[in-house]
A and B are shown apart, each in its own frame.
Chain A
């Protein structure tokens, strides 16, 4: 059982950061020892109405409160510098996605963490969604037979008209559909089906934005020889929120899954308990383990819980480490450079 709480500090209190802070604070195995942001209004609210110790300089915070771990949820361009600082001081690091903006930075962070055997994690929360884990289980069991094609899709309503520029519309700061949306889909795809080797016929399409892409379309070839399509568009207002879907087709069956439900068709009766010949439908209610605190989705709490347990068990080889996130960065890089 839990002997001592893990002391953790958080840097960056935007939309994701605030939500992470609430989850960290509610977690029985974690103690939030410091929060840091440069935005006046959020920090002021926390100063007035919470008990957190607040900082505007993350280096001073780390030196003063001596956490064992940090959660970094700042804009992507700041990830590298902050994570390097934390790893050099021997801290475990949870970082929001995407990982970094260039491969050499990412590689350096992976090396640093490996050398010190530190726990690292990147916030690719699809890896903690019950339905997608069941998809992975079925694929790993070979339930679909030899897989020959996939379609990995994600759509949502982030940029649906021409508008003022923010950091999300600046590619050098980590903006754009490639880094924001596509990173999630690519990460999920590699989690479920394995490593992407090459990309082909890629398009990075501007729809409403002027300096970044709003859609990414490509053919992906995996190490295993499987190929399939990637289709991502964050300018689709027919979706209420981000919706990610995987379709996988094999010699023995076909599967269509999003975060809520999985429909799987088997040509013959599979040797897997709970499944039969023909169509099977499994829902989030069947496939989602409970969490200790719920905010916006079980997966957000589940990933933090997993991070806490990795620290307690000193497990530096988790399921969404810096190393696996670097693999995702590599594919994003392939997609980016294909058109150049």
Chain B
């Protein structure tokens, strides 16, 4: 994994501090070309991994990447699935069974349809999970995706329900089908690590909020620091600025000095912000052992 991963919240009007800022972002990134322009700036800043949710609009970005292979030769996407609001709104409207029917593939290959229908009929949940992964992955065909993530709302739901075998099944499936590693986004890193250890997902890739003030770090800063020191895992730190509560220098100095941090994920809209964060990370991350997947 690269040291810096570029995130997508700013493109999809997700702002953890302010609904007003969200709206401003929605206006700015109304057109896909505005997103592509920022991604090109990112590449120009030597950042080559875009970590993003499987939002419908990402399909257009993938089209653009496929149309311009030379320009994006070193570029890759880490998909994070699912785009939860899509399913949450569908469940409100159609119920759980109705949502499954709606999103199990039906329009393409007859084979997939049969497999999907059969899986729901037989209540084979591992197969249902695999088909939903395939559905979400369809838009990335031909785009490099070395790590595939489960979004925190699903990771943490499975974690809370204690259905850990899904973590293992997901990990096995993306390895087999997509030659990719599984990643897990969570707001409960210490608890998730224990669960993954139980089902034999070794040296896992975990993406979690990690910041000096303990924002969205369930169990507290001390428990996180101890877990990072004592356990073997590859961690992607997100929300390092605690949604803007910590000044960039202070925020990045803290995270860069923690053990087990493979990458830092951040999103930004302007070249100056991207460059500033990149330079600070390179400055504080002196021990530059490349961490490879």
User: Which residues of A come within 8 Å of B, CB atoms?
Assistant: 14-15, 18-19, 21-23, 25-26, 39-42, 44-46, 48-51, 157-158, 163-164, 166, 168, 238, 240-241, 243, 245, 258, 260-261, 283-286, 288, 290-296
Contacts of A291 in B (CB 8 A): 218
Closest CB-CB distance, A125 to chain B, in whole Å? Answer: 16
Instruction: Confirm or deny: B243 has a beta carbon within 8 angstroms of a beta carbon on chain A.
Output: yes
Closest CB-CB distance, A163 to chain B, in whole Å? Answer: 7
Q: Are B18 and A260 in contact (CB under 8 A)?
A: yes
Q: Are A243 and B242 in contact (CB under 8 A)?
A: no
A238 to B19, CA, bound (A): 11
- 8 Å CB contact of B17 from A14, A42, A260, A294: A260
A230 to B203, CA, bound (A): 52
A311 to B180, CA, bound (A): 47
Contact with A along B154-189 (1 / 0, CB 8 A): 001101111101100000000000000000000110
- 8 Å CB contact of B242 from A44, A285, A290, A293: A285
What does DSSP make chain A's interface, helix, strand, loop or mixed? Answer: mixed
- 8 Å CB contact of B166 from A21, A49, A293: A49
Instruction: Confirm or deny: B76 has a beta carbon within 8 angstroms of a beta carbon on chain A.
Output: no
Contacts of B243 in A (CB 8 A): 283-285
Q: Are B19 and A258 in contact (CB under 8 A)?
A: yes
Contacts of A238 in B (CB 8 A): 23, 26
Q: Are B22 and A19 in contact (CB under 8 A)?
A: no
Closest CB-CB distance, B59 to chain A, in whole Å? Answer: 18
Contacts of B17 in A (CB 8 A): 260-261, 283-285
User: Which residues of B come within 8 Å of A, CB atoms?
Assistant: 12-19, 22-23, 26, 85, 88-89, 91-97, 100, 120, 123, 125, 153, 156-157, 159-163, 165-166, 187-188, 191, 213-220, 242-245
Q: Are A163 and B93 in contact (CB under 8 A)?
A: yes
A40 to B95, CA, bound (A): 12
A328 to B220, CA, bound (A): 35
Q: Are A25 and B218 in contact (CB under 8 A)?
A: no
Contacts of B123 in A (CB 8 A): 40-41, 44-45, 48
A258 to B14, CA, bound (A): 15
- 8 Å CB contact of A241 from B23, B85, B95, B156: B85
Q: Are B160 and A260 in contact (CB under 8 A)?
A: no
Contacts of A23 in B (CB 8 A): 160
A-B contact pairs, 17 of them (CB 8 A): A18-B157, A23-B160, A26-B191, A42-B96, A50-B161, A50-B162, A164-B93, A260-B15, A261-B17, A284-B17, A285-B17, A285-B244, A285-B245, A288-B215, A293-B188, A293-B191, A295-B157
Q: Are A294 and B153 in contact (CB under 8 A)?
A: no
Would A41 and B96 be within 8 Å (CB), given that A261-B18, A285-B17 are in contact?
yes
Contacts of A22 in B (CB 8 A): 156-157, 159-161
Closest CB-CB distance, B173 to chain A, in whole Å? Answer: 15
Contacts of B89 in A (CB 8 A): 157-158
Contacts of A258 in B (CB 8 A): 19
- 8 Å CB contact of B153 from A39, A158, A243, A295: A295
Contacts of B18 in A (CB 8 A): 260-261, 283
Closest CB-CB distance, A24 to chain B, in whole Å? Answer: 8
Most chain A C-beta atoms within 10 Å of own C-beta, residue among B15, B160, B216, B220: B160
- 8 Å CB contact of A158 from B92, B100, B191, B242: B92
Contacts of B94 in A (CB 8 A): 164, 166
Closest CB-CB distance, A162 to chain B, in whole Å? Answer: 12
Closest CB-CB distance, B15 to chain A, in whole Å? Answer: 8
- 8 Å CB contact of A285 from B93, B163, B213: B213
Contacts of B156 in A (CB 8 A): 22, 293-295
Contacts of B218 in A (CB 8 A): 290-294
